[in-house]
Structure 1
């Protein structure tokens, strides 16, 4: 070995196949979360379907995959509940959570007419979104980190938005906190990379249709569709496919990235 050649790492943990992963999807019972949970289950993974209020939807989804799905109630804003969830999942499946999808969106509706404009935005609104979209993902990461570090493998995928690149509606609180989550995605990627943990973000635009976007007028969907190269609005299933990419072995060399999945509406 010459003086300019760096030695190879002493060991490299092989990426786990999807079928060998235990995946936690926060807010995994409805809307985009249900699409993500279903995509992982169809790929053969074991999935913890987290919910706060949607007990029936979570139970129905879990019942479709009785050997590989488990519904667990927890408010993602409560670190103690998240720690208990991680412990319960490990006891049930006999393995620790390997893959975390920070998807939960707490008490938010995509209705631009009902959102506060610049001169109305309050500290309370910003604080509420910060609790659900920044503090909660951090707490979820901290709850699953011990298991990931012990395994030398982890995949963390945060759900973001294209709105801070293309702020066409006044979702000030939502957009600001998702921008903060992207920053944490990149700093956590650097912090956790030596432990074999990849951290990435998948950012959608308005999805057609979830519970959160049900209040969006049809003409808004049509306007967005007309501005995309694909001439249609992205579906939850299409975004879920991108999430699977970041969990699959083929993305083992990718971390700290933000993939925008919106039919080409936003570039870069």
Structure 2
């Protein structure tokens, strides 16, 4: 087996931002688990692109604890270790401003669905992988958030609220897991041009985002992926509990 810099599990990696994160990890010398839920074919196509010596496609519904435990077990069987968790999977949501329900039509179930995807999914991966993360000297967890809870250009109520909860989750995990040398951070991208999730976003919205950002551009999946890989590396060993926003300067902290 190759001498990798580390082994990264990327949830929801068969498409969109997840596939770009997986691609960027491989480009930087890491082995990758391409986790998928519904699209096995696209996950396997990505593995073919990345090289079967560099990546493996594994199924799991990240909201199902047993699925995630089996995912980690298969990872250990294949690579022998795991030291990076990227909680990226997006559960049943698309960025379509025309389809977003107004507040008077929203059901609590829609919120719960996003909490399940954002927070429960991240809890499952961390709990399943924790024994192995503790065994390494460079364990990293990166949760994928959004800048929308700081600047809700479109009020995607349930999605944004789920990701806002993920910030608190991230910081509490950073505090508790720091004793083991495990860093836990969050990367919050802006609207990405273009992923499957943002394919229905109107040109008008993209133009508004570009015109209001400091760089006068819409953020790309590669912009976010590069930051994620940095936080997964040894170079970021002194950074934990942070939410780093990558949105071309649309929001500023």
Q: TM-score, normalised by structure 1?
A: 0.91
In 1: Cα distance, 2:63 partner to 2:32 partner: 20
Give the one of 47, 51, 76 matched to 2:62. 76
| 8 Å contact kept, 1:116–1:170 | no
Contact 2:63/2:124 (<8 A) preserved: yes
Answer yes or no: is 1:132 the counterpart of 2:117: yes
Q: Residue 82 of structure 2 corresponds to which residue in structure 1?
A: 97
Deviates more, 1:222-231 or 1:252-261: 222-231
Query: Is the CA contact 2:138–2:234 (under 8 Å) kept in the aligned structure 1?
Result: no
Cα contact 2:188–2:246 (8 A) shared by 1: yes
> Gaps (5+ residues) in structure 1?
1-17
The structural deviation recorded for 1:152 is 4.3
Of 147, 151, 168, 1:166 maps to 151
Distance 2:200 2:131 in 1: 40
Deviation sequence 1:72-117 (CA, Å, 0-9, x none): 0111110100000100011011x22100000000110101221122
Conserved 8 A contact 1:234-1:263: yes
Q: Does 1:88 align with 2:74?
A: yes
Greater mean alpha carbon deviation, residues 146-155 or residues 126-135: 146-155
Which one has a bigger Cα radius of gyration? 1
- Structure 2: segments with no counterpart, 5+ residues: none
Q: Find the partner of 2:140 among 155, 169, 175.
A: 155
Where do 4+ consecutive residues of structure 1 move more than 2 Å?
150-153
Q: How does 1:216-235 map to 2 (within 5 A)?
A: 216-235=201-220
The residue aligned with 1:247 is: 232
CA distance in structure 1 between the aligned counterparts of 2:137 and 2:228, rounded to whole angstroms:
21
Secondary structure class of the residue paired with 1:119: helix
Q: Secondary structure at the match of 1:48?
A: strand
CA distance in 2, matches of 1:181, 1:247: 18
Residue 149 of structure 1: how far off its partner (Å): 1.0
Check if 1:49 corresponds to 2:40: no
Q: Take 1:214 and 1:69, find their aligned partners in 2: how far apart are those partners?
A: 27
Q: Give the match's secondary structure for 2:185.
A: strand
- Matched-pair contact (CA < 8 Å) for 2:138–2:237: no
Residue 150 of structure 1: SS of its match in structure 2? coil
For the aligned residues, what is the CA RMSD?
A: 1.1
